Amino acid sequence: MDTIQDINVMPRIGDKAPAFKAVTTQGNINFPADFEGKWTILFSHPADFTPVCTSEFMTFATMQKEFDDLNCQLIGLSIDGLYSHIAWLRTIKEKIEYKGMKNVEVTFPLIEDITMEIAQKYGMVQPGESTTKAVRAVFFIDPKGIIRTIIYYPLSLGRNFRELKRVLIGLQTADKFGVALPADWHPGDDVIVPTAGSCGKAKERMEGKDGEMTCYDWFFCTKKLPKEEIDKKLYKK
Ligand code: BEZ
């Protein structure tokens, strides 16, 4: 039985990812249990056989190895049936050549959700935009099944998949190194160290006693974190 939490409540950052069982183009899944220990990006698209979605799937599938290497499983969803999904993915592979991408095989699971049960659970149907199609939602879920980032795009705008990869790397870097990441951060840029927790520490930092840090004020200090160190910790061997 649904609990009050399951009914018409949009999941939020920090919540446990709502559980579901689904039929996909790669067989049945039990989410998030089947993916414990991995990051997942669960994303919705409005409809199969539509141009923006086709460009998105080709782009994401072409980047699949980059996400695999970061221990991240991609999982798509739309309010279409399994046979529509299969036919669309076959068309993409067999017929579509776009921006140098061709013969693109989508090997990550694509969920059928004709009942909208999962889309509703995840707040992917936003009636002001459409009552019959999911918006372009992206949920980043960590290896313990906790939602860590949510991004929504409207029907008319394709996602920036480089940005989605940057978000994943940012979340993993923040976790592994205990740092925060400033505006427009990319691996190799300086990172933000936790704010001084005492007057003494604040004074030390402002006196430049920690040579590793650059402090713009007592509460805003950064340090170097070379890209190679991040790569070593994040990427599978
Ligand atoms: C598209 O993917 O092209 C699309 C889907 C739904 C509404 C508008 C555009």
Instruction: For the beta carbon of residue 136, count every other beta carbon within 10 angstroms.
Output: 23
State the residue for tokens 């993409």.
92
**Residue spans of alpha helices (H) in the chain:** 51-62, 64-68, 82-95, 117-121, 161-177, 199-206, 227-234
Q: Which of 52, 84, 125, 157 to mutate to test the pocket of ligand 1 (most atoms within 8 A of CB)?
A: 52
**Domain segments of the chain as ranges:** 4-159, 178-234
Domain 4-159 identical in fold to domain 178-234: no
* 123 touches 18 (CB < 8 A): no
Report how far ligand 1's centroid is from the alpha carbon of 17 (Å).
26
Angle at 234 between CA 55 and CA 137, to 5 degrees: 35
Please state the pTM of the whole predicted model: 0.94
In angstroms, the Cα distances linking 205 to 59, 62, 208, 220 are 45, 45, 5, 10
Nearest CA-CA partner of 42 in 132, 111, 113: 111
* pLDDT at residue 177, as a whole number: 98
Q: What is the mean pLDDT of each run of 10 residues along the chain (237 residues)?
A: 55 98 98 98 98 98 98 98 98 98 98 98 97 97 98 98 98 98 98 94 88 93 97 85
* pLDDT at residue 9, as a whole number: 75
* pLDDT at residue 130, as a whole number: 96
- Does residue 129 have its Cβ closer than 6 Å to ligand 1? no
- Does residue 178 have its Cβ closer than 6 Å to ligand 1? no
In terms of CATH architecture, what is 4-159? 3-Layer(aba) Sandwich (3.40)
Question: Any idea what DSSP says for residue 120?
Answer: H
Concatenated DSSP letters of 137-177:
EEEEE-TTSBEEEEEEE-TTS---HHHHHHHHHHHHHHHHH
Report how far ligand 1's centroid is from the alpha carbon of 79 (Å).
13
Question: Any idea what DSSP says for residue 101?
Answer: B
CATH class of 178-234: alpha beta
- Does residue 153 have its Cβ closer than 6 Å to ligand 1? no
Report how far ligand 1's centroid is from the alpha carbon of 234 (Å).
34
**What distance in Å separates the CA atoms of residue 235 and residue 117, rounded to the nearest whole number?**
35
**Residue 215 a catalytic site member:** no
Query: 140: which residues sit within 8 A by CB, 6+ positions away?
Result: 39, 40, 41, 147, 148, 149, 150, 167, 168, 171
Query: 95: which residues sit within 8 A by CB, 6+ positions away?
Result: none
Instruction: For the beta carbon of residue 184, count every other beta carbon within 10 angstroms.
Output: 7
**Which residue among 53, 72, 215, 221 is the active-site one?**
53
Report how far ligand 1's centroid is from the alpha carbon of 198 (Å).
52
